Structure 1
Amino acid sequence: MSVLTRALANTECGEGRVVLVNSGPGVGRTTLLNEFLRQAADSGARVGAATGSSAETGMELGVAAQLFPSDGPLAAGLRLARAIGGGDGGGDGVLPPDADRLFEELCGEFRHGPVVLAVDDVQLADAASLRVLLYLVRRLRTAPVLIVLTEPTGPDAMSPAFQAELLRHPRCRRLRLQPLSPDGVTRMIAPYVDAADTARVAAEFHAVSGGNPLLLRGLVVDHRAARRADRQGQGATVQPVGSAAFAHAALAWAYRDKPVLFDVACGFAVLGRNATPALVACLVDRGADAVARVMTALDTAGLLDGTAFRSALVSKALLEHVDVEVRAGLHRRAAWLLHGDGVPAVDVAHHLLAAPVAEPWAGRTLIAAAEQAVRDGQEEFSLDCLRLAGQYATTEEDRAAVVMARVRIGWEIDPRLVSPWLDELGTALERGHVDSADAAWIVKHLAWQDRFPEAAQSLSVLAGRAGDEPGAQAELHLVRQWLRHTCPALDPDADPAASTAQATAPQPRRLSPASYAVEMLGRVLAEGPGDHAVAMAEEILRGCRFGETAVEALEAALLVLVYAEHPERALFWCEALLREAGDRPTGTQVAILSGIRAEAALRQGALQAAEQYAGRALEAISLHGWGVAIGSPLAALVRAATASGRTWEAGAWLNQDVPEGVFRTRHGLLYMHARGHYHLAVDRPAAALEDFLTCGALAKEWGMDMPAFLPWRTSAAQAHLALGNGGQARTLVREQLARPGGSTPRSRGVSLRLLAATSEIACRPALLRESVNLLESCGDRLELLRSLADLSDVQHRTGAPAKARMTARHARTVADTCGGDALFRRLFKEEASEGDDEPVPLAGDHHGSASLTAAERRVTALAALGHSNREIGRKLFITKSTVEQHLTRVYRKLGVRNRADLGDLLAGTNLAAQAQAMGRASSVAAG
């Protein structure tokens, strides 16, 4: 605007000027021109304005007639135009004889003040009018006239000959309008957006529109409409971008007088990020030069980011106004072109879903796209691809391939999606339409879904192929290794010794992380942990990537670390893999990794973390999708809730329905073991013993009787101790110490604690001290808390109260770090209500208004018995300062001044006996 204003000022000095304004579509050259003409007219200038139109291109002197109306002050200009441009006048460069006289007549009008002649869309002006304009431009040295012309960039620009003649003039200036900057967008929308939201909305609007004013106006209109609806309580949400006005704005700039802009813009919209000028030219059947010019126009309008539209909303708005059949044809042609250029299958699949192509390559492309999409977290798109691929399948082999893809992808999303397709896959396997690798998958899926008879039949089919089909032997070995540590009851004829020998014997075979991982896990469960297994597991995990490595390999390698007493390493790798998953909260891999995190956290005594991870595992896929593996996350939840003292919650988890086949799997052993500990916590030692012994019998039968995996003997020993069977408990503990893996720090530490419980009291301190040292070294804070409690009790009994108090304080610290407060109170027989900070009314309180928290009540009880603040602190394992703070609040609540008044108050109520009982309980807790 400032450039145009200065040019107008210069005409008052007798200096004619020409300004050529061009821009991309929708940037605002017409708006700029109209605003300038209004200001020029207000300043006293005489204005002649015209607009070119494709409908009037053939109308001779149509634009000149608009500039010089016959009844206006510049009517002489129309007579000049007719003399110059009418018919063939001036077309051969020879001016009519009266042209100079008519020009002098027009200049006489110019002397009455500055004149502005403006033509919008000059590229659409008729040829005669263009000759008149050039005649005037050549004489601007003597005419105080400002000529302003506008044209678009791109395919609709004015002819090169006219441009060359125009720009040759020394007083002609080209002015190119650019889209608005982020600051310009902010200033434009500020009057229409809440001040607090202006910065955020401006950034979003600029990202969508690229600063294009026409699109911005559409966004503002939609934003204001949404805001009004929200204020009227219609439940609308104020969105950064809208639909109706924005779509109309997109259509307005794209659908100009010539269809080439719209056609090419739609080509860019269809191809998206795969658009190139050559591809768009092939897609819309336009010349490469035309496409390049349109691309320039779109780029100068701020609409392109590279070769794609800056916002998908622009593409969507354009394509919504394309005929359905035409749009489908564009998508089909795009699918052909992109497939031929070898672009990623996912990009081709988008076009196939919009307009199917009945070609063999289409089905394969859709399957490949579905597999990639699920790795990218696009589950719905993946399933859409598979549904369409099923329609392309014409043979049984093709149908089996599609169904197998649905099973693989459904497994990654949620195993419940696999169930409807397993029957069809079993039939395809029997008919030989499924290869060995897929056959192994079928066995695993059937076993996971608690369909053991069908899984056994599929395993037999795979075993029958082992001698004839290449690769079948390797797949059979892998699936049997997996069954050995997951569902050993499914393959009872397999010889574990032979499998182990085969695994250890040097032999050429395909490199497979899953194969090595499941072999390592089977070896750890059968032979106990070893450094070699741990090193192999970590080596496998270093080469694994979330979403790329088979979940069986990840699970087996991580469980090797867990059962080899390295839960901290398992947690490290779980967290590293889940970080690769990003914000993806669901899926089978997320579920399994979260379940392993829960088991590892439980072995570190981190109760809250174990509950959190197990809960996340159950949320990642459906309960039905967990199949027989549901036993593992439920076991972690039950163990954590039981140890935290929330036995009612553990009981609720145990009331969840689980498949019957759970109890024929490794997951069932963990589940029964957790259930046994629940029975112990609720004082049902006989039921607990039954669960533990059943676990032991199955573990022996399945060749996975390894204490680091399932310490059923020490658990059964606890049940025997609760039943008073010390001798049987001692026998079980000694058996566990002698088992492979029984000497690991965690297993040995637990065993020594229980061995101490069955030994003479004089032998107990040494056993318990070793137990504490071992459990501290392995990091299992929950078992450490139990050993510390037993050691504190023994130290108290053997006449070492000071040591007992130190041990109890240590236990208090451990309990605080692992969330074992409830277990601490139970082990130290400390009386406490659920939630120490809840106020507990004083029974018999004559004032009727005083209430104490449970912690204050314990301090009050001991103070009333005459204990000093230091003694109270020692007994309750709190600092002297904390005791003083509690007593200060107690005095204020009860309205007393000192201990004597407190004793009198309690003596006058029925709390004296309660205080003495609490004092005895606190003495026991202090050791």
Structure 2
Amino acid sequence: MLIERVNEFARLRRDLHECAHQRKGHVALVTGPVGSGKTQVLETFHRGAVATGARVLTAAGSRAEQGLPFGVLGQLLHGARLAGSDTTRAEKLMREAADVVPAAEAGWEAADELPAEGALWAPLSREVFATLLELVDPGPLVLVVDDLHHADATSLHSLLYVTRRLQHVPVMVLLSEALTSRPANPLFHAELRSRPRLTQVALPPLTADLVARALPARAGGPQGAAGGEALEEARRLVGTTGGSPLLVQALLAEEGREGEGGGSAPEPRAGDAFGQAVLHSLYRHEPEARKVAQALAVLDRSASPELVGQLLGMPPGSVASALRVLHSSGLVDTDRLRHPRILQSVLADTPAEVRQRLHERAARALHEHGAASSVVAGHLVASGWTGEEWVAPVLRDAAEQSLAAGRPDLSVAYLRLGRGAGADEGRRGALATMLVGARWQVNPLAADRDLDMLVQSAGADEDPAPAPVSAVPYLLWQGRAEEAADAVAPGREARTAAPGRAAPKAGGAAGAVDGRLQAMRLLVSLSHPDFLVSVRESRDRWSRAATAPHSVSPLLQAVSVLGSALLPTEGVDSAAAAEQFLQRHHLDRGNRGLLVAPLLALLYGGRAGRVVVWSDTLLGRPEARHTPVWRGVVQSIRAEAALRLGDLAEAEQGARAALEGLPVPAWGVVVGGPLGTLISCATETGRHAEAERWLAEPVPERMFRTPIGAHYLVARGSHHLAMGRRQAASSDFQRCGAMMRGWNLEASGLVPWRLELARVQMELGERTLAAQLLRDQLHVSQGLDERTRGRALRLLASTAAPDHRRKLLSKAVELFQSCGDRQGLARALADIDQVMRQSGETGHARRFLFRADEAAQGADTASWVRQAQEWQVGQGGQGGQGEAQAGEGGDRDDVLSEAELRVAVLAARGRTNRQISDALFITVSTVEQHLTRTYRKLNVRQRTDLPSWLLAVDGDQPRKVQEKVS
């Protein structure tokens, strides 16, 4: 028994007590919505009454037996017979009366006329009353009738006869009745409520406070004031159920089963038991209420009684009454179903043909009421109905809105139905074009057939004819560069309009179309650089669009930004232009595809850190969940950026996520992006078998006509080199170089192939040739990013004389710190450690190895860090923990304190004593004292003699370095 029904139960017990002691009859009517606990109250009262010595006879009304004369009365007489009363005569009279009551007149209005038949009715009523009186002594008699609203009219007439004669007999009549949309048995209630000894008990919905007070008892604790957690849980329960005890108990039962394994109770959620409780409640309502619930489930939105009535062919007043009843039972909140699980349960129980018919009516009604196209289209798709002219335009508008909102999956459903909606040929062509784009965003493999049909339809009037411009990105994705180039060839401007639409002739629309055509031409050339010749000839025209404050075509500006990164132009900062474009358009609806180009521009411009930041922002947008292709491309770009920052774990995770969201065959020629990143990650961490597995994934040959193919070749060649296959590595790197030279594409941020080929030459002992390749890389006139310069300087240092080697490495350290490449920084620091040890500076070299560990920390620390530590031990020095332990037992005069290290770092960077004093908030005298001790410990005479390794120390975090050093 829930705690909140205790008060109602106490009132009924008080009535029974008065009935027994005052020897006067009493009538009690318990009312409440379906599922409010009326039956539970009656059963609990029954047990309590029997315990006090009362005799209890029970009966229950049923919708199925509502037309059966004397159905409820027969149940009471059956109970009396079992209790020892002689019911023979009463039952005989009842059967005779039932034979003369016409079935068609079983309603209350007919029963109201039954006393006029006199000869049979009066004896029956007297005999029934006499039979019941036999059970009064020694205690009172209680007649319990549940679900009074379903009782037959003849039994109700007999019950009224009994209630009229309770003035001096200890008989209590306890009735329960549910709220209904129409008053049940109004004449019966009119007379019943005129009884002087009548108690009415209404069962309201449960409140959060009362539910919370019951929750501790469920968990085995004492009942009492609710705590904060219990009250919060109770609020969730009441919010889901509307306070219906039936639904609350279903949720509590589910939670109890889920919590049987131990631990804290999970948050309440609606499951199968809850759904069964919903249907149990729904089927105890009138059929009209169930129909209204089905209509609300189909609409799945706030709906007026007029709209629901239009779907069901019911008067709005009847709908409003049904809504009130459903609201009282917790199923409806104002004008819609309260919880998604309630909606799912109702829909699942609605026959398919009924759902389809309701969806069709909903589409018609909502269109008439001016609802949004997307809402109407959802019902059209659910019904499959396309029978009127307005359907096709509505489906097209809904598809456009869904694409802009990042829901291509919905657009596909709308467009598939729209193609068969009786539109004209031109409109069907436009819908087919949109369908290709929508399907491609979900899964490029699903769009292949539609793309081929689109290309074939473009050549239907003239043979041969180019594919429409709208198909260019999808053709490029598949590597069909010639078809894409033909679609944007000069003289094809008229083809930029969608099928069925005239090409714009002048004004802003014409400018937009021209910008779109230019953008597509540039996209063809950048993705397949075989076509770069014409783009270079018109560089001034499109490069200005990259930095224009307001562009006629955002598409042209986005692709121009990427073009400026791959084909560097004087006066154009591609990274700044990419940042500006992303800031301006990253929140635009429908512009997700445009954002890929500036992301790549940042990546190729050496701004990998900014790529990670922007990628996280874009992937956090809600629509990213519904656009697998766009999400996968951004994840792949972010993974490559993380790789360039030396974060191998993040790089691998991102590339894996990209391939999990979209299968390898669906990636087309772009598959080399995530695959190349995964191959590089596995190679860097020494997992060569895994790299071989990724290399075994088939890639299209057309990929090697794209810059992504060059990226893949570098990753494959690096793996060959790590495995000792120098000739295979050299072949891949030379092929990559031949591609880049053939394209005349020297953006080092794209693929610095000379660095990789130099590594092979050094492996082969050709250091002179390697040095020449590295110097050529450093002398690239434009587009040389900091990471590539740092890598080139580090490799060049290995070919230089010892005195020049440290300067090159120090510069490389600065560059790696500036661009954020942790792995490159760690490599350079490890190299400085080796150089210093070779020159005999073992007392200070250890700091660089510790700094390298700091830069490359994590589970995926590359194998070359471990090799550096092994080299250190092999040279007779003590590394890591061993060297620290040696220092603990020996002389510590050469170890700088934290304060000395801070001062020394700033001094090595060229700060004056006054500047150091201001930066560290200490006096100039203190600075001078720290420097004096530093000079003595480092065995130098003046500031300019401070060792260059101090430049590698992070001045903001010297504590970590010093802790490891000391």
TM-score (norm 1): 0.74
| d(CA) in 2 for partners of 1:487, 1:676 | 22
Aligned to 2:306: 278
Query: Is the 2:455–2:466 Cα contact (8 Å) retained in structure 1?
Result: no
After alignment, is 61-70 or 657-666 more displaced? 61-70
Query: Is the 1:51–1:120 Cα contact (8 Å) retained in structure 2?
Result: yes
| d(CA) in 2 for partners of 1:883, 1:660 | 64
1:667, CA displacement in angstroms?
0.7
Q: Give deviations 1:157-180, integer Å, cap 9, x for gaps.
A: 335666566556665333223466
Query: Is the 1:201–1:240 Cα contact (8 Å) retained in structure 2?
Result: no
Instruction: Tell me the amino acid that sits aligned with residue 5 of structure 1.
Output: R
Aligned to 2:659: 618
Aligned to 1:899: none
Instruction: Tell me the amino acid that sits aligned with residue 7 of structure 1.
Output: D
Instruction: Tell me the amino acid that sits aligned with residue 286 of structure 1.
Output: M
Aligned to 2:140: 114
Query: Is the 1:520–1:560 Cα contact (8 Å) retained in structure 2?
Result: yes
Aligned to 1:146: 172
Instruction: Tell me the amino acid that sits aligned with residue 43 of structure 1.
Output: T
1:123, CA displacement in angstroms?
4.3
Question: Does 1:642 pair with 2:687?
Answer: no
| d(CA) in 1 for partners of 2:819, 2:321 | 71
Aligned to 1:695: 736
Aligned with residue 429 of structure 2, among 392, 400, 403: 400
1:36, CA displacement in angstroms?
3.2
Aligned to 1:419: 448
The residue matched to 2:384 in structure 1 has which SS?
Answer: coil
Question: Does 1:7 pair with 2:15?
Answer: yes
After alignment, is 413-422 or 265-274 more displaced? 265-274
Cα separation, partners in 2 of 1:586 and 1:823, compared to 1, 3 Å: farther
Question: Does 1:329 pair with 2:357?
Answer: yes
Question: Does 1:745 pair with 2:786?
Answer: yes
Aligned with residue 298 of structure 1, among 326, 329, 333: 326
Aligned with residue 487 of structure 1, among 515, 525, 528: 528
Q: Give deviations 1:511-550, integer Å, cap 9, x for gaps.
A: 5544322211211221179884333322332345589453
Instruction: Tell me the amino acid that sits aligned with residue 627 of structure 1.
Output: G
Aligned to 2:575: 534
1:587, CA displacement in angstroms?
1.0
Matches within 5 A, 1:567-586: 567-581=608-622, 584=625
The residue matched to 2:857 in structure 1 has which SS?
Answer: helix
Question: Does 1:440 pair with 2:448?
Answer: no
Aligned to 2:32: 23
Q: Give deviations 1:580-618, integer Å, cap 9, x for gaps.
A: 359949811221111111211122122232222222222
Query: Is the 2:639–2:650 Cα contact (8 Å) retained in structure 1?
Result: yes
Query: Is the 2:86–2:131 Cα contact (8 Å) retained in structure 1?
Result: no
Aligned to 2:674: 633
Question: Does 1:519 pair with 2:560?
Answer: yes
1:460, CA displacement in angstroms?
3.3
Instruction: Tell me the amino acid that sits aligned with residue 321 of structure 2.
Output: R
1:445, CA displacement in angstroms?
0.6
Instruction: Tell me the amino acid that sits aligned with residue 665 of structure 2.
Output: H
Cα separation, partners in 2 of 1:800 and 1:254, compared to 1, 3 Å: closer
The residue matched to 1:771 in structure 2 has which SS?
Answer: helix
Question: Does 1:501 pair with 2:541?
Answer: yes
| d(CA) in 1 for partners of 2:657, 2:90 | 85
How many residue pairs get aligned? The number is: 822
Query: Is the 1:714–1:732 Cα contact (8 Å) retained in structure 2?
Result: yes
Query: Is the 1:223–1:240 Cα contact (8 Å) retained in structure 2?
Result: no
| d(CA) in 1 for partners of 2:356, 2:588 | 33
Cα separation, partners in 2 of 1:529 and 1:618, compared to 1, 3 Å: farther
| d(CA) in 2 for partners of 1:428, 1:449 | 19
1:623, CA displacement in angstroms?
0.8
After alignment, is 30-39 or 48-57 more displaced? 48-57
1:391, CA displacement in angstroms?
3.8
Query: Is the 1:393–1:402 Cα contact (8 Å) retained in structure 2?
Result: no
| d(CA) in 2 for partners of 1:185, 1:396 | 67
Matches within 5 A, 1:834-845: none
Cα separation, partners in 2 of 1:47 and 1:695, compared to 1, 3 Å: closer
| d(CA) in 1 for partners of 2:191, 2:466 | 74
| d(CA) in 1 for partners of 2:629, 2:436 | 13
1:743, CA displacement in angstroms?
5.7
Matches within 5 A, 1:905-924: none
Query: Is the 1:25–1:253 Cα contact (8 Å) retained in structure 2?
Result: yes
Instruction: Tell me the amino acid that sits aligned with residue 340 of structure 1.
Output: E
Query: Is the 1:208–1:313 Cα contact (8 Å) retained in structure 2?
Result: no
Instruction: Tell me the amino acid that sits aligned with residue 496 of structure 1.
Output: R
| d(CA) in 1 for partners of 2:533, 2:718 | 33
Instruction: Tell me the amino acid that sits aligned with residue 22 of structure 1.
Output: T
| d(CA) in 2 for partners of 1:875, 1:209 | 62
Query: Is the 1:524–1:530 Cα contact (8 Å) retained in structure 2?
Result: no
TM-score (norm 2): 0.72
Cα separation, partners in 2 of 1:175 and 1:810, compared to 1, 3 Å: same
The residue matched to 2:31 in structure 1 has which SS?
Answer: strand
Instruction: Tell me the amino acid that sits aligned with residue 327 of structure 2.
Output: D
Q: Give deviations 1:187-210, integer Å, cap 9, x for gaps.
A: 99999xxxxxx9999999988766
Aligned to 1:850: none
| d(CA) in 2 for partners of 1:606, 1:154 | 66
1:133, CA displacement in angstroms?
6.3
Identity of aligned residues (%): 33
The residue matched to 1:331 in structure 2 has which SS?
Answer: helix
The residue matched to 1:20 in structure 2 has which SS?
Answer: strand
Query: Is the 2:749–2:784 Cα contact (8 Å) retained in structure 1?
Result: no
Query: Is the 1:85–1:129 Cα contact (8 Å) retained in structure 2?
Result: no
| d(CA) in 2 for partners of 1:57, 1:650 | 76
Instruction: Tell me the amino acid that sits aligned with residue 678 of structure 1.
Output: H
Cα separation, partners in 2 of 1:800 and 1:367, compared to 1, 3 Å: same
Aligned to 1:777: 818
Cα separation, partners in 2 of 1:190 and 1:142, compared to 1, 3 Å: same
Cα separation, partners in 2 of 1:89 and 1:761, compared to 1, 3 Å: closer
Question: Does 1:556 pair with 2:585?
Answer: no
The residue matched to 2:301 in structure 1 has which SS?
Answer: helix
The residue matched to 2:177 in structure 1 has which SS?
Answer: strand
Query: Is the 2:670–2:703 Cα contact (8 Å) retained in structure 1?
Result: yes
Aligned with residue 40 of structure 1, among 41, 49, 57: 49
Q: Give deviations 1:402-435, integer Å, cap 9, x for gaps.
A: 43333222222222222222111113334589xx
| d(CA) in 2 for partners of 1:227, 1:806 | 54
Matches within 5 A, 1:653-668: 653-668=694-709
| d(CA) in 2 for partners of 1:882, 1:298 | 79
What is the RMSD of the two structures over their aligned residues, measured on CA atoms?
A: 5.2
Cα separation, partners in 2 of 1:786 and 1:143, compared to 1, 3 Å: same
Query: Is the 1:673–1:712 Cα contact (8 Å) retained in structure 2?
Result: yes
Uncovered stretches (5+) of structure 1, i.e. residues with no partner: 192-197, 231-238, 832-857, 885-925
Cα separation, partners in 2 of 1:347 and 1:20, compared to 1, 3 Å: farther
Aligned to 1:733: 774
Cα separation, partners in 2 of 1:881 and 1:634, compared to 1, 3 Å: farther
Matches within 5 A, 1:86-101: 87=113
The residue matched to 2:452 in structure 1 has which SS?
Answer: helix
Aligned to 2:106: none
Aligned to 2:607: 566
| d(CA) in 2 for partners of 1:214, 1:547 | 47
The residue matched to 2:826 in structure 1 has which SS?
Answer: helix
Aligned to 1:824: 865
Aligned to 1:234: none
Uncovered stretches (5+) of structure 2, i.e. residues with no partner: 1-8, 102-109, 221-229, 262-268, 497-502, 505-509, 891-964
Instruction: Tell me the amino acid that sits aligned with residue 289 of structure 1.
Output: G
Question: Does 1:475 pair with 2:516?
Answer: yes
Question: Does 1:309 pair with 2:337?
Answer: yes
Query: Is the 1:27–1:214 Cα contact (8 Å) retained in structure 2?
Result: yes
1:47, CA displacement in angstroms?
5.1
Aligned with residue 294 of structure 2, among 266, 273, 279: 266
Instruction: Tell me the amino acid that sits aligned with residue 183 of structure 2.
Output: A
